[in-house]
Amino acid sequence: MTERGYPDDERDAPDEPARDPDDHAELLSELDSHDLSLATDLVHASGADAFAFDPDADPDAVFPQSVASGGPTPSGAIIWTRIAPDAFDPDTSLAVQVAHDPAFEEVVYDGVVTDEARIEAHDYTVKVDLDGHLDADSAYHYRFIYDGVASRAGRCRTLPHPNDSPESVEFAVLACQNFLNGYFPAYHHVAEEDVDFLVHVGDFVYESDDGAFKGFGSREYEGREKRFPSGHDRVQGLEDYRYLYRTYRGDEFLQEALEEHTLIAGWDDHEMVNDVYWDARTDAPAGDHPRGDDPEFMTELVADAMHAWWEYMPARVEYDPNGDSLQERFRLWRTFEFGDLVTLAMTDERLFRDPPREAIPTPDNVGPQYEPPGRTMLGDEQREWLIDTVTGSETTWTVWADEVLTTPFRLGSGPLSVYPVQGGWDGYTRERQRITEAIDAADVDNFVTLTGDMHCYVAAYQQSSYPGRVSGGEGVAPGERIGVEFMTPAITSLNVAEALGLTSGWAKRLTEPLLSWLIPAMNPHIDFFDSHNWGYSTVAFTREDCTYVGYSVDKTVDSPEADREVLVAYRVPEGVVALEEVSDEHSA
């Protein structure tokens, strides 16, 4: 018998957990060989020459990926840019200015980056940490200046002080943007939104250049072709990942949004490989890749993916190179507090998850009582951190940025049902039950989950239990409502309708209302469902309510004039777990 109490031969089954104290040891060893891109501080410029520039010079020639900001704190943010390799001169310093006003007449902080060797080593990307130099709950303008050329100006925002009482905070929530599968005009509309921050719940890039993640109804998009430096169809290493980020960040609409708003970024699977998970039997990641069953290759590949993500995303992620475990070394899971109004918890649902189960996902197989003990998506430490964060929150609203669908998703009826979304929490029902029961027992008020991954719009109730055996029960009575879930749609990635060729003409007119009726009928806790459209959502929190607005944007048009419309809107009153549809109010 093993220490968890099941036979040794069962421990070798793919869906059985097999963790030990040295988990992730090979990945830690591989990360030791990587010089990860950490944000730097500015040094004082000796004169005004570093800030001189030609106002007629083309910023795109020197800063081809423009600028971005992220990792907000009450006293700063991280700002990011990339210098074009053919413009780079190791004898030239990069200057930075931060100002109250867009004309940069009221500069509050400036300096230069002098570590030119580090810039070159990290694919010419630069991250500057402004933490400790700015005021809380304030917007600033920033720019980079290099060899007489100024970047386009960006706008960054700091968090409120923890003791502040802001009247509102609003996010644009984003997910799943396959460059090959459409254009990004949704980001142009996001840039024009009056939101405070962007929250991206993952799949910022896709790791294929051959259309592997398209479907029956997908089309080809002019100008969206890619070719990896390695010559392979799937990523093979660091240079391929860097190529992906350079390509995506070259999109003009994505640049607009990142220039205008400060980003709070997580990741999902495609930043590494599709359906990536941790195989504890080999102490290595595995997933949907031609070499996904090669532990040494996959360990190196995921380390390269993390390396490139760190270079290209302006994220504030805790990293301790001396940590003995992956949890001590690296934490994507973190909390953002917006005064006493909102606590936002962001989780890492890839580096610690167990393999998918091999059982057919029928009601008799997916319930927690049928799942092997110890299976996890979050890992023990992160799960307990999440429970403590949610149940201990003292803000008005408590929000979990959860990359994948939290609530059950059933197709069929009764014993003839299946739960097809096994990459979501339906594949980890024992751990979901533990989280849900803890939140229910703590009587948490105003709990909201923001999700992505499934390329749909969803408004649903989170419950202490659900009819049938998916949450451990046998009957048909639902449990208590403990919160709500809002899923943001894909920017461009394949959805159900596109996979089946149902996105236009009579097929769309017939199936869109049918599917939007059928899914809630099979899942009474789901109030709204749509998988025929693409776009983004906004979620606003005030003292009185939370409001979700799902927008559809035409991804087939590479233009700022692409059609945008309100697809659905919901209001949740403070102190009440109730989904009130208010689409008409926001469509006017």
CATH of the domain at 116: 2.60.40.380
Instruction: Specify the CATH number for the domain of residue 316.
Output: 3.60.21.70
Lowest pLDDT segment from 138-152, 232-246, 415-429, 460-474: 460-474
Tell me: do 117 and 213 sit in the same domain: no
pLDDT of 8 strictly over 50:
no
pLDDT-based confidence at 15, cuts 50/70/90? low
Residues 151 and 179 in one domain: no
pLDDT at 254 over 90: yes
Last residue in a domain, options 123, 157, 191:
157
Query: Is residue 39 included in any domain, yes or no?
Result: no
Asked, for residue 38, whether it belongs to a domain, the answer is: no
Radius of gyration of the chain (CA): 23
Residue 105: pLDDT above 90? yes
| Domain interval for residue 117 | 48-157
> Is there a domain that residue 245 lies in?
yes
From 1-10, 135-144, 373-382, the region with the lowest mean pLDDT: 1-10
- CA dist., res. 535 & res. 556, Å (int): 12
Query: Helix or strand or coil: residue 276?
Result: strand
User: Residue range 485-489: average pLDDT?
Assistant: 98
Please say whether the dihedral angle defined by the alpha carbons of residues 204, 207, 213 and 219, taken in this order, is positive or negative: positive
Are residues 530 and 557 located together in one domain of the fold?
Answer: yes
In this structure, the answer to whether residues 138 and 180 fall within a common structural domain is: no
Q: Which two tokens stand for residue 414?
A: 């009764």
Residues 128 and 185 grouped into a single domain: no
Distance CA 35, CA 130 (A): 22
211 in the same domain as 68 = no
Domain final position from 157, 186, 211: 157
Same domain as 572, residue 424: yes
Helix (H) or strand (E) holding 156: strand 154-157
Whether residue 166 is predicted with pLDDT greater than 90 in this model: the reply is: yes
Amino acid at 15: D
> Does the pLDDT at position 429 exceed 90?
yes
DSSP designation for 86: G
4 assigned to some structural domain: no
Domain contains 547: yes
Instruction: State phi, psi for 370 to the nearest 5 degrees.
Output: -105, -5
Counting the structural domains of the chain, the total is 2
CA dihedral for 162, 137, 78, 310, sign (positive or negative): positive
Residue 14 CA from chain centroid, whole number: 27
Decide if pLDDT at 531 tops 80. yes
Based on the fold, state whether residues 237 and 381 are members of the same structural domain.
yes
How high is the pLDDT of residue 48?
80
User: Per-residue pLDDT for 22 more than 90?
Assistant: no
Helices (H), 283-344: 295-312, 326-329
103-113 mean pLDDT: 96
Whether residues 443 and 492 share a domain: the answer is yes
How many Å apart are CA 184 and CA 188, to the nearest integer?
7
Q: In this structure, is residue 37 part of a structural domain?
A: no
- Please check whether residue 11 lies inside any domain of the structure: no
- What's residue 2's pLDDT? 34
Q: In the block, which residue shows the tokens 């709070």?
A: 264
Strand extents, DSSP E, 105-148:
107-113, 125-129, 139-146
Instruction: State how far the alpha carbon of 256 is from the alpha carbons of 21, 116, 146, 193, 586, in Å.
Output: 45, 27, 21, 11, 24
Residue 231, in any domain of the structure: yes
For range 418-445, the mean pLDDT? 95
Give the end of a domain, one of 132, 157, 182: 157
pLDDT classification of 485: cutoffs 50, 70, 90: very high
Alpha carbon distances (Å) from 71 to 24, 61, 261, 422: 26, 27, 12, 31
Q: Are residues 289 and 347 in the same domain?
A: yes
Instruction: Categorize the per-residue pLDDT at 3 as very low, low, confident or very high, splitting at 50, 70 and 90.
Output: very low
Q: pLDDT at position 283, please? A: 92
Stretch among 7-21, 344-358, 516-530 having the lowest mean pLDDT: 7-21
> Is the domain of 142 the same as that of 186?
no
**Tens of pLDDT, residues 295-343:** 999 999 999 999 999 999 999 987 777 777 777 777 899 999 999 999 9
Is residue 496 located within the same domain as residue 569?
yes
